[in-house]
Structure 1
C-alpha cells in the first residue's frame, strides 16, 4: 500500500568533480548568505541538499551548520561494504558517522566509466540504507525512445534497487535519461511525466510502505519544475546549480510551484 504521509519536495545539486576545495567553500558560503534572504516559511516544507566531493565533505557539513534552515549534505558514492581491504574506497559507515544524510549511487557516469551494473548499485543502495542514510539512486534509459521502452529499461534498475532495501526504508529515485545528461535542454516535459508515472506504477514502488520520492535530473534548471510539478517531487541539479543565485532561484521555484 502507499505511504499516507505527503511527500516533501526536494531539490539539490552535485558539484561532481568541477570544484576546487576553495570554490566549494566559497559556493557554500555564498549559498548560505543568499538563502538567508529567502522567507523562511517558504522553505519549511522543502528539503535541500548539496553533494560536494569527498575531500570537501567535512568542511561543507561544518559550514552548513550556520544555515538558516537545515541543509542536507550528501556524498557522491560509497562502497557496498562498511569496512575491509578496499584501498581508495569510501565506507558508508564512515560517511554516516561524519554526518552525511544521503548518498548518490548509480549515476550514469559511474555505470558507463566504471562499469557499475544494477547488482552493484543495489548493493551500494543497501549499504547506504543500513547505515541510516537515504540512498539517492540515479535511473534512466540510455537511448532516446518512446515511453514504454524507457519504463521497461527503468523497471530493471528500480526492481533491483527496491529488492535490496527494507520495505519501510526511504528511497529517492533521480530519473535522468542518460541521453539528456549534459544536454543543452532537458527531455520533453510530457516524456518525463509519462515515464515517471510509469515508474511510480511499478509493483516494486507502489507496494512499498516507505517514502519513495522521484526527482528529475538531466539538464535540470530554473523554470523547469513548474512544468513538472504534477508528477515530480523535485529536481536534482548539475552544472545549472553551480551558480549560487541560480540554485536559490530553483529552490524558490520548487517551493512555490
Structure 2
C-alpha cells in the first residue's frame, strides 16, 4: 500500500489474516484505582495463559485517559498492548482539553479508538472529524480501532451497506496511510450495544465478510483485522469462528475471569 488516499491496493487482493485479537474498552465505568487493579489481573492472565504469553492471541486494553499511567505500569513487560479511547485530529495547538496522538505514542500507546457510536451520537463527530482522527492515528504510528455499525436492526445486506458507507465517508478524508499502516475495524451494530446478547451470528458473519472484502480492495498488503463488538461475551467468538479476527469487548470483560474464558476461545481459533 502506498502513501496517500485509500484505494491504492489491488482490487480484490486478499488481506493477510492476522492472529486473533481481543480488545477491551473500559469506557468510563471504572475509576483509576479499579482500573489499576483490573490491569494487574490482566497482567497475571497474560503471564499464565500460554496463548497470550506465546503471543498466539493478541490482547489490548483501552482505559480511561486518567487511568492510562496505571494501566501502562501494570502491563509493562507483558505482551498486552494498551491505548486510548480517543485522540484529537491535531497534535499541537489551541485545543483545550484535547488529547494529542503524538503524546499518546510517546506514552507507549499502540492503539486508539476512533469513530465509536457514542462519540458520534453524544459529541457530534462527523465523517470528516473521524477521518481527520484516523489521519492523526496513522501519522503518529498508532493503530486505529475504527468502529462502524448500523443504527437500527435490519437485514445484513443493509447493515453491510451502511458500514461500508461509513468506511468510505471517513477514509475519503484520510491522507496519512503508509506501507506500515495497520487498522482494526470493529463492527459494532449500534442496536446491539448494551444489550444482553450480541447480534445474531449469521448477521455478523455476513457483514464481516463484506468488510473484509472492502479492506482487501483498499488495504492490500497492510495488516487489517475485522473484530466484532456490541455485547460480545463468552461464547460469541466460538459461535462466530474465523469469520472475524477477534472481539472488541466491554462490560463482559470487566471480570478478568470472564476474559480468560474468551481468551481460551481465541486460542482455539489460533491452533
Would you say same fold, with TM above 0.5?
A: yes
Quick check: 1:122 aligned with 2:131?
yes
**1:43–1:161 Cα change, 3 Å:** farther
Shift of 1:65: 1.1
Between stretches 29-38 and 218-227, larger displacement belongs to 29-38
Quick check: 1:113 aligned with 2:125?
no
How far apart, in 2, do the equivalents of 1:29 and 1:207 lie?
38
Shift of 1:42: 7.0
**1:184–1:80 Cα change, 3 Å:** same
Between stretches 58-67 and 211-220, larger displacement belongs to 58-67
SS of 2:73's equivalent in the other structure is helix
How far apart, in 2, do the equivalents of 1:176 and 1:57 lie?
24
How far apart, in 1, do the equivalents of 2:205 and 2:15 lie?
22
How far apart, in 1, do the equivalents of 2:258 and 2:135 lie?
33
Q: TM-score, normalised by structure 1?
A: 0.93
Poorly superposed stretches of 4+, deviation over 4 Å: 40-43
Between stretches 102-111 and 56-65, larger displacement belongs to 56-65
How far apart, in 1, do the equivalents of 2:231 and 2:132 lie?
27
SS of 2:66's equivalent in the other structure is coil
Match of 1:13 among 24, 28, 33: 24
Match of 1:217 among 225, 229, 233: 229
Match of 1:151 among 154, 160, 166: 160
Q: Deviations over 1:160-201 (max 9, x none)?
A: 344414263211100000000000110000000001111222
Residue 239 of structure 1 corresponds to 251
Quick check: 1:230 aligned with 2:239?
no
Between stretches 239-248 and 157-166, larger displacement belongs to 157-166
Q: Deviations over 1:45-78 (max 9, x none)?
A: 22100100101112211211143xx111010000
* Counterpart contact for 2:32–2:70, Cα < 8 Å: no
Between stretches 153-162 and 78-87, larger displacement belongs to 153-162
Residue 194 of structure 2 corresponds to 182
How far apart, in 1, do the equivalents of 2:153 and 2:178 lie?
32
Structure 2 residue runs without a partner (length 5+): 1-9
How far apart, in 1, do the equivalents of 2:14 and 2:142 lie?
19
Q: Higher relative CO (CA 8 A, sep ≥ 6), structure 1 or 2?
A: 2
Residue 88 of structure 2 corresponds to 79
* Counterpart contact for 2:14–2:216, Cα < 8 Å: no
* Counterpart contact for 2:16–2:224, Cα < 8 Å: no
**1:181–1:88 Cα change, 3 Å:** same
Residue 219 of structure 2 corresponds to 208
Between stretches 130-139 and 242-251, larger displacement belongs to 242-251
